Amino acid sequence: MALEVSHVVGGYSQIPVLKDISFDVRDGELVGLIGLNGAGKSTTINHVIGLLTPHKGTITLNGVTIDQDSQAYKQQIAYIPETPVLYQELTLREHLEMTMMAYDLDQEQAWKTAHELLKIFRLDNKLDWFPANFSKGMKQKVMIVCAFLTQAKLYIIDEPFLGLDPLAVNDLLNLIEQRKKTGASILMSTHVLDTAQRYCDRFVLLHDGQVKTEGTLSELQAALPEAGESLNDIYLSMTKVDRA
Amino acid sequence: MTDLFKSRLQRHLREMAKYLRLVFNDFFVFALMFLLGGLGYGYSNVLKQLKMGLWWAPVIVVLVLLVTLQVGRFATLIEDADRVFLLPKERAMHAYLVAARRYSQGLAQTTQVIVVFLLAPFLRVALGWSVPQIVGLLVAQVILKDTLLRLDLASAYQVTGQRRMNEWPIKWGLGLVALAIGVWLTPYAAIVLAVLADGAVAVWLQRHWQQQQIRWREQIKIEDNRMLGIYRFFDLFTEVPMVEGTIKRRHYLDWLFKSIKPTHRQTYTYLFSRGMVRGTDFSGLVVRLTVIGMLLLYFVRGEWLPVLLAALFIYLIGFQLLPFFQQYDDVVFTHIYPIAPELRLKSFEHLVTLILGVAALLMWIIIVVANLSVTTAGIALVVELIEVWYLARVYTPRRLARAMKNKA
């Protein structure tokens, strides 16, 4: 059990956005976090990466909570934000180097991985560029390269498919597949449901700060038999229940 | 559309008023009065010694008027979102732009009138001009400025390809020709020329604007630059949030980072050092304070005064550096990296020690050179060392640790 979120109540202020949320992500598993705008996906992610502290409940990552040992906890996580954020004063090369330093990676080994990743995302000739010169998609690729540079146990990817070109989306999915084989887990939030349906092992459907349903596609289909076949149909029916 | 400009103008003026109150504080007004008084006195002395027939007198007049002519830009108050929201209203924008030009006239023409007014005694004494001649020159100058603003308005439209009507050779060339004729021949000829130019641009614009698209992106950029210039000026006096520091690569300073080994403990030293050197905000502040301190110290003599002054400047630099610690708080990775907060604080302490140390050393050298006294040099050295140590190693970490705790 890599990540275990249990009975988390939390949010940005005293008013909770998340109302008693529980789910888990197992080793070597890609879990899709699905929900409408404002359903609580980003809030959940912010709790998992430790930017927010839960009011109630616990988040455990391979047996460690952030309060027990924040370094050991953070060491296991790599995060790709929805909107890329970079240090304006650092070049691409320096971002990579900084990531290696922060995660205490072996420089030689890490640079080897880095060059492979840079090649995949066609950034290998832009090592001395500043973030200001990158387009949004390129910045997102920089985030991906930095995240996959670390040998994290849990990758948290917030809406990766918007803004990336189709080639990069494909490369990212390959990378995810590759890391899953080595036992890493991935928690990914997205609105691109048909891609999610094809690649995710399990789904957590968030609605209004609560976990509506959770499970593999066939489990979801069994739970909501009248909803339809695809993830898209299930998702739509789930939101309709609430609207009615 | 004219209403839109009016409401924007009101907001703009309120904002300017807010900053101007801060700029013209008592101290600054006092200094300004002294400065103006001094300049006025100097000018009147120069006038007393002037004779007629100096070859350079008309050259000065032309140059001053030519430069003045460029003062007072076309203030459109166009915003970035306009190219989306006002795009369907493109034709109606003409009324907006005309209103903007009318507003821009105010400050621009006031400047022209003041400068010609100030030049009037010089024209009388050095060129022997009569009052009607001077008034003629004033009229020519005002019409010329009107022409230039009309050119700016015309250039808001996409005319012929990439060429713009308000490119600087046109603006300066037109002014130069008209003013040269006005000063060396007769100001009345300059009036005729200016009226012809103004009329020509007006007729052209009237004929063409309906068929042309507005250069949205360019106009937005021009307006942004204009506002940035204003904010930069205000930033000299007070904090202006709109002025963001720029980033310069500064290749030639890369040797500074050589000693920072890429190890886990040094992660923040790596970031802070590069941020400090390549960002212009904080590095500019440090350099400015150090240079001002050094200049003052060169002229101040005494046993204790230089020591106190140096101590004050070191304190100022150290104090201003504190917010740099939070510079990267809005980059999410600052919180996600598995780095102990103590290491970040240590790195910052290190940086502050280094910066204050270098600033203190530079100021100490000036103290030694200026005073040539062993006592002063000795006292200064001891005081500076203790101060740098205290600020960097005791005060800074204590303050920042408290700030971090309050946040958590």
pLDDT score at B344 = 92
Given CB atoms, is A83 within the 8 Å cutoff of chain B? no
Please determine, for residue B408, whether its predicted confidence score (pLDDT) is greater than 70: no
Nearest-CA neighbor of A17 among A45, A238, A70? Answer: A45
Rounded to an integer, what distance in angstroms lies between the CA atom of residue B115 and that of residue B109?
10
Say whether pLDDT at B161 is over 70: no
A-contacting residues of B 375-404, CB under 8 Å?
Answer: none
* Distant-in-sequence contacts of B64-68, Cβ < 8 A, 24+ apart: B64/B115, B64/B119, B65/B115, B65/B116, B65/B119, B65/B137, B65/B141, B65/B175, B65/B179, B66/B172, B66/B175, B66/B176, B66/B179, B68/B111, B68/B112, B68/B115, B68/B141
Q: Which of A48-57, B299-308, B340-349 has the lowest mean pLDDT?
A: B299-308
Angle between helices B341-371 and B281-299 (to 10 degrees): 20
Q: Which pLDDT score, from 0 to 100, does residue A139 have?
A: 95
- How close is the nearest chain A Cα to the Cα of B277, in Å? 9
Other beta carbons within 10 angstroms of residue B293's beta carbon come to 22
Which residues in chain B have their CB less than 8 angstroms from residue A150's CB? none
Q: Tell me the shortest Cα–Cα distance from B240 to chain A, in angstroms.
A: 20
Give pLDDT, residue B2.
84
B340 at interface of A, judged by CB pairs closer than 8 A = yes
Which of A49, A89, A98 is opposite residue B267, by nearest beta carbon? Answer: A98
- Region A122-137: mean pLDDT is 92
Distance from CA of A103 to the nearest CA of B (A): 6
Per-residue model confidence (pLDDT) at position B176:
94
Question: Whole-number mean pLDDT of chain A?
Answer: 91
Nearest CA in chain A to B266: A101
User: Tens digit of pLDDT for each residue in B216-225?
Assistant: 888 899 999 8
DSSP 3-state of B59: helix
Q: How far is CA B238 from CA A88, B20, B22, B234, B325, in A?
A: 24, 10, 7, 6, 21
Residue in B266, B328, B336 closest to A101 by CB: B266
Question: Edge-to-edge, what's the strand order for the sheet holding A3-10?
Answer: A18-25, A3-10, A56-61
Q: Taking CB atoms and an 8 Å limit, are A97 and B336 in contact across chains? A: no
Distance from CA of B258 to the nearest CA of A (A): 13
Average pLDDT over residues B55-68: 92
Residue of B nearest to A91 (CA): B249
DSSP state for residue B279 in the 8-state scheme: B
What are the extents of the domains in chain B?
A: 2-235, 251-407
Q: What is the C-alpha to C-alpha distance for residues A70 and B335, in angstroms, rounded to an integer?
A: 11
A36 has pLDDT over 90:
no
Whether residues A72 and B332 touch (CB distance < 8 A) is answered with no
Instruction: Kindly determine whether residue A102 and residue B264, on different chains, have CB atoms separated by under 8 Å.
Output: yes
Query: Residue range B50-68: average pLDDT?
Result: 89
Per-residue pLDDT band for B231 (boundaries 50, 70, 90) equals confident
Whole-number pLDDT of residue B22 = 83
Q: Assess whether pLDDT exceeds 80 at residue B94.
A: yes
Predicted confidence at residue B407, as pLDDT, reads: 67
Give the confidence band of B162 by pLDDT, cuts at 50, 70, 90. low
Cβ of residue A127 closer than 8 Å to a chain B Cβ: no
B273, B336, B347: best mutation site toward chain A, by most A Cβ within 10 Å? B336
Q: Which long-range contacts (CB under 8 A, 24 or more apart) does B107-111 make?
A: B107/B72, B108/B71, B108/B72, B108/B73, B108/B145, B108/B149, B109/B72, B109/B142, B109/B145, B109/B146, B111/B68, B111/B71, B111/B72
- A64 and chain B in contact, CB less than 8 A: no
pLDDT tens-digit profile of A95-106? 999 999 999 999
In the prediction, which pLDDT does B192 show?
A: 94
pLDDT in tens, B268-292: 999 999 999 998 888 888 988 898 8
Report chain A residues whose CB lies below 8 A from the CB of B332. 49, 51, 79, 81, 85
The model's pLDDT over B77-92, given as tens digits with 9 standing for 90+, comes to 998 898 888 888 888 8
| B270/A87 touch (CB, cutoff 8 Å), yes or no | no
Domains (range + CATH), chain A: 3-76+154-243 (3.40.50.300), 87-151 (no CATH)
Q: What is the mean pLDDT of residues A139-150?
A: 95
Q: How many CB pairs under 8 A join A and B?
A: 70
Of A49-53, A167-171, B254-258, B297-301, give the lowest mean pLDDT range.
Answer: B297-301
Instruction: State how far residue B329 is from chain A, nearest Cα, in angstroms.
Output: 11
pLDDT at A1 over 70: no
Q: Is B327 on the interface with A (CB under 8 A)?
A: no
Q: Which residues of A touch B262 (CB under 8 A)?
A: 97, 100-101, 107
Q: Touching check for A102 and chain B: CB below 8 Å?
A: yes
Of A71, A88, A101, the CB nearest to B270: A101
Place of tokens 């009065």: B33
**Residues A195-218, mean pLDDT to the nearest whole number:** 92
pLDDT at B91: 85
Contact (Cβ atoms closer than 8 angstroms) between residue A207 and residue A238 = yes
ipTM at complex level? 0.90
